[in-house]
Amino acid sequence: MPTTVFTIANQKGGVGKTTTAVNLAAGLAAKKIHTLLIDLDPQASATSAVGIEKQEGKSLYGPLRGEGVAFSMITPTAYEHLALIPSEEDLAAAEIELAQTENYLARLRGVIDPIRNSAGFRVIIIDCPPALGLLSMNSLAAADHLLITLQCEYMALEGLGQILRNVERLKTAGVNPGLELGGVVMTMYDGRTNLSKQVVDEVKRHLPDKIFNTVIPRTVRLSEAPSFGKPIFAYDPDSLGAEAYTSLTNEVIKRFGLKD
């Protein structure tokens, strides 16, 4: 089985990228699908959310500048079938340094290519920083599918055009002709407000075949779990958040044929 690479990118912060990266990765792992989570955000929130301490020299910063290999950055987690390539603050420098390298959009692709297909991971999920800088652009160049998270808030669709234009640019420039918008995940849904429902309806109108049926509710348990270094399935397996991310995981498995 080939490796399927997803990137969760969006220039907005606080829209549920990391929460979705972590809990989708953990959800797939819980279904015995070997998954590698790559934390590409220098803030390292996905790293701590799966209970791993930041460690100097353990991130893709070195490999991106030609020092060391990504393989040696793979760190096991407490969860079966789930491994992590952590982040560290130094990764922020890559945002600037990459611009001075040759092939600066395809660096990440080159760095993770040896892991693709050969390391036994069925899925790689990349969690991006909240900017469309070179790290996010590199993740788009390295991925098969872009997953976008949108907060169920006023102006949710704002900025969507920008990232989709970048996808088109990478495709037509031949950097990653196979890249597709894989899906849109609506997050932080508040069932008590009309606004949440209106936002979901609006996105359904715009992207009917991309929006996932599963909508992630706004719940305190989902926001608490990262501070305990646990995915929602370990923190509170019976919560609404766990239920929602299980349902999203099942949709992702089905949509992308991740189980035979």
Contact residues toward Mg ion (CB under 5 A) are 17-18
Which entry of Mg ion, ligand ADP, none binds 222, CB below 5 to 8 A by partner kind? ligand ADP
Please write down the long-range contacts of 223-226, taking CB distance under 8 Å and 24 or more positions apart: 225/49, 226/18, 226/19, 226/22, 226/45, 226/48, 226/49
One of 3, 4, 7, 19 touching ligand ADP (CB under 6 A): 19
> Phi, psi at residue 167, to the nearest 5°?
-60, -50
Within positions 105 to 134, which residues make up the interface with ligand ADP, using CB under 6 A? 130
Nearer to ligand ADP, 30 or 232 (CB): 232
Nearer to ligand ADP, 134 or 148 (CB): 148
Does residue 129 contact residue 40 with C-beta atoms inside 8 Å?
A: yes
Choose one: 14-22, 53-61, 101-109, 153-161; the region binding ligand ADP (CB under 6 A): 14-22
Does residue 212 contact residue 251 with C-beta atoms inside 8 Å?
A: yes
Within positions 42 to 81, which residues make up the interface with ligand ADP, using CB under 6 A? 45
> Distance (Å, rounded) from C-alpha 107 to C-alpha 188?
33
Choose one: 54-62, 170-178, 215-223, 249-257; the region binding ligand ADP (CB under 6 A): 215-223
Q: What is the CA radius of gyration of the chain?
A: 17
Q: Any idea which residue has 């803030």 for tokens?
A: 43
One of 3, 4, 18, 196 touching ligand ADP (CB under 6 A): 18
Choose one: 15-23, 103-111, 113-121, 248-256; the region binding ligand ADP (CB under 6 A): 15-23
Q: In Å, how far are 56, 84, 127 from 39, measured between CA atoms?
A: 14, 7, 5
Shortest reach from residue 162's CB to ligand ADP, in Å = 15
Shortest reach from residue 102's CB to ligand ADP, in Å = 30
Give buried/exposed letters for 69-80 (b at 16+ CB in 10 A, else e): ebeebbbebebe
Question: Site residues (CB under 6 A) for ligand ADP?
Answer: 13-19, 45, 130, 187-188, 216, 218-219, 222-223, 226
